Structure 1
Amino acid sequence: MNIATIIRATAILLALLFDTAWAQSFQEGMDAYDRGDYETALEVFQSLAEDGDSSAQYNLGVMYYSGQGVADDASEAVSWWRAAAQQGDSSAQYNLGVMYESGDGVPQDYTEAVRWYRTAAEQGLADAQFNLGAMYNIGYGVTQDYSEAVRWWRAAAEQGYADAQYNLGFSYANGEGVIQDNITAHMWFNIASANGASLGKENRELFADRMSREEITEAQKRARKCMDSGYQDCD
């Protein structure tokens, strides 16, 4: 039986943030952005960003990265995300991690990628927790450590992150970072499948072929309990 590999995510977060501290001016920028008037949105966000507003800095980075109202410029996006990240913006911190991992707008540097993923992950950002787990699983920028991978994937899984739930199933299926456990693997594949991870369904069905009916029933029971508890009672 071949179990599909772990899932990795490196997508940049491009949803704009809203900051109530500068509500009226910021809303003008958001309204302009929503109607496709990127030139006005860029002007508003640029002014607020230069005054130190972290959400405007983040949004300005999004616009430079996407080429909205300005020529796309990954280096400029990094510059503004760095400014927001240094003020504690977790989405900007995560995006810096992605940029360093992929070498987009900066020289590729896995150690820096891990640093920024960790900073965002410790603030509770599920995307960052997921990618940090992947870095530990592969050994990019850190010493390979399956147990640490599982720890961070569990943190993301407990927020309902389907790909992290799938990867936990993979870890239990293969005994990587945890004691190999078919029932727990099936449970996490089941949960991931319910949350839209297609590989979760595929691997759950593969696992059913080597489990007894009683074991499958137990795995399904535990999956329901885990989901009903908001992913807080999954042991």
Structure 2
Amino acid sequence: MLLIPTTFTQSANANQLEACNTEECVSYFKKFKRAARKGYVSAQYNTAKFYYYGYGTEADKALALKYYRKTAVNGSKEAQYMTGLIYVSEPDLQNHEQGIYWLERAAANGHIHAAFLLGKAHAQGDTINGGAPNYQASDIWLTKAFDKRYNKLPALVEELNAKKVFNETNYPSLYNKLVEHNMWLAKNSNGEVALSNWDGKTYERITVTGYSQTEAFDNLLATFRGRNNSTGSRLGSDCQLTGACARKSLNEMKDSQWVSQQ
């Protein structure tokens, strides 16, 4: 896979932590790692982030990969994305086959960053085709990015167009999507590449203010108290990464209508 590490770095920073070695940061790291050892999936995910960014501990991409992969196996698309990202971008940990595998799993689960990066990677070239671009695969993943109106897609389309490889033959699905939605490459008032009607006039922008970082950590830590004998932290996908998932004890599960009908 002809991949440049910087290709993947920017998207990884969307949900980043700042490196921190204060007493508070170290305390959070230790608490989450203890919970991770007890099998709490959300604790494993956050421990991975702490190692990745150096929050409360020394940055260690190998240990970050270990914990991200634990969470990825449980179905978290965020962890699957980060697992794939580390495999393709970290020189000492590179495994392109595993990287593409986990990025594809993340993209299949709806992770838009993963879909875009796969589309870009296949446009650059992959090992399956001896280093030649795989436009068919690129078309599939970039079309998924288009459906989510991924903000970096217009610039990539212009880049492919400048190389004279973006056409109806190489990118039939994405090309026809642009035609169908009457979207054409153009420069906006700031001189940036844009697709006409990209945002459209039917979208309403809503700003939501969530918990602070420490409040989010405290809320998650509160769910780790006591024995890990409920379903809340073991649910599949990314529900397990928040403190908002519904939790049921084993006895409540036994009394539920779903169980009684099995």
| Structure 1 residues 93 and 126: alpha-carbon distance in aligned structure 2, compared to 1, 3 A threshold | same
Determine the structure 1 residue equivalent to 2:87. 100
Deviation at 1:129, TM superposition (A): 0.4
Higher alpha-carbon deviation: 58-67 or 46-55: 46-55
Name the aligned partner's letter for residue 227 of structure 1: G
Alignment of 1:41-80 (within 5 A): 41-80=28-67
Determine the structure 2 residue equivalent to 1:160. 149
Please state whether the residue corresponding to 1:37 is helix, strand or coil: helix
Deviation at 1:105, TM superposition (A): 5.2
Asked if the contact 2:126–2:134 (Cα under 8 Å) also holds between the matched residues in 1, the reply is no
Determine the C-alpha separation between the residues in 2 that align with 1:105 and 1:77: 13
Please state whether the residue corresponding to 1:187 is helix, strand or coil: coil
Determine the C-alpha separation between the residues in 1 that align with 2:111 and 2:43: 19
Determine the C-alpha separation between the residues in 2 that align with 1:142 and 1:54: 34
Tell me if 1:187 matches 2:186: no
Higher alpha-carbon deviation: 123-132 or 56-65: 56-65
Determine the structure 1 residue equivalent to 2:200. 227
Determine the C-alpha separation between the residues in 2 that align with 1:142 and 1:189: 31
Q: CA RMSD in A?
A: 3.5
Asked if the contact 1:133–1:149 (Cα under 8 Å) also holds between the matched residues in 2, the reply is yes
TM-score (norm 2): 0.58
Deviation at 1:160, TM superposition (A): 2.4
Identity rate, percent: 23
Equivalent in 135, 139, 149 of residue 121 of structure 2: 135
Tell me if 1:15 matches 2:15: yes
Determine the C-alpha separation between the residues in 1 that align with 2:72 and 2:92: 16
Higher relative contact order (CA 8 A, sep 6+): 2
Tell me if 1:81 matches 2:74: no
Determine the C-alpha separation between the residues in 1 that align with 2:23 and 2:201: 41
Asked if the contact 1:103–1:109 (Cα under 8 Å) also holds between the matched residues in 2, the reply is no
| 4+ runs deviating over 6 angstroms | none
Determine the C-alpha separation between the residues in 2 that align with 1:90 and 1:137: 23
Deviation at 1:153, TM superposition (A): 1.3
The alignment of Structure 1 onto Structure 2 pairs a total of residues equal to 183
| Structure 1 residues 36 and 116: alpha-carbon distance in aligned structure 2, compared to 1, 3 A threshold | farther
Determine the C-alpha separation between the residues in 2 that align with 1:151 and 1:229: 26
| Structure 1 residues 100 and 121: alpha-carbon distance in aligned structure 2, compared to 1, 3 A threshold | same
Asked if the contact 2:8–2:89 (Cα under 8 Å) also holds between the matched residues in 1, the reply is no
| Structure 1 residues 199 and 68: alpha-carbon distance in aligned structure 2, compared to 1, 3 A threshold | same
